Structure 1
Amino acid sequence: MADVARADARRNYEHLLGVAREVFAEQGTDASLREVARRAGVGIGTLYRHFPTREALLEALTRAGFEALRERADELLTADAPRQALLDWLRVFAVRSTTYRGLPESVMAALRQEGSELHASCEAMRTAGGRLLARAQQAGEVRPEVTGAELLALVAGIAWAVEQSPGRDDLMDRLLALAANGFLP
């Protein structure tokens, strides 16, 4: 009987995540959690049992993406061109930051709030990107005064700007190139 209950709880969890993914894709990270519960066909209490806060739900939705970013950074640490490796990773970070409208703001807020459910995932991703930055700086390919926090804030700002300009397919790459001119020697 306990196995059936665990299987039901897991199905509910996955169903809620799937519905939340849809709602957040449509309405952004500030979407109504009541709407998520309603579309999932559950009460708001069921949603809160699985995800006690909006950040807990957002963390569950973005965990795999942040882990993939961390893994990508680890792979790029052995690339022949440290500068290009950093630029490639920053582009992937920027693109993934536009998965949900409002995600760049949520990530930056979580990085400032150590108690946030989203903080650990964001911090692991920032640390991984920081290693790429340090490697590029050691190679003399990025200005030494640039910090990882500044770089992520810059790229999150670019992702936010792209969110505000739908239909500009080239805008992400253009803004990243302009920003790179500021932090590359």
Structure 2
Amino acid sequence: MEKFEKVSGIAAPMPLVNIDTDMIIPKEFLKTIKRSGLGVHAFDEMRYDRQGNEIPDFVLNKPQYRDASIIVAGDNFGCGSSREHAPWALADFGIKVIVSTSFADIFYNNCFKNGMLPIVLPQEQVDVLMKDAEKGANARMEVDLEAQTISTSDGEVFSFDIDPFKKHCLIEGLDDIGLTLEKVSAIDTFETAAAQARPWV
């Protein structure tokens, strides 16, 4: 997993509330166990019509938001079923940061495991960021994980809270496997001792 330090990018405004995991990645795309290739299907039913053509009015289809790396969303983002394909699809699309007033717990935790930063802010601050995102490609926000700040294109700065352990994992680029590999020396020592103590196992 890539190390997360700072993100400076275009923010897409998605003011809908209760954007659930089925909206993020519909169930017909859950057959794969690969994390790559799902970005093209992110928000599939909102991005494409039944013939597979792009719906021009959907925010991520608009030219100014095609390269968005930040989403500013309505309340309760990522609710619904606990499919990990949802953060996989967003990460593969290129999303690094999602800002909302609240997230579903499982989705929130899955974001960190897939290198994305979910930021919870009060409604009035999300409203400011939403308005800034509506300016389009010229309005670039900056997220500094070390400082725990997000800045608007006009330089207004908001601070956010984050669990220290989750912050450490993002900054160091550690998913569950990476955390385990940090302990590989201790694991090897244990396995050697266990083999000597119980050679019949």
Q: How high is the TM-score relative to the length of structure 2? A: 0.29
Q: Which has the higher strand share?
A: 2
Q: Which has the higher contact order (CA 8 A, sep 6+)?
A: 2
Q: How high is the TM-score relative to the length of structure 1? A: 0.31
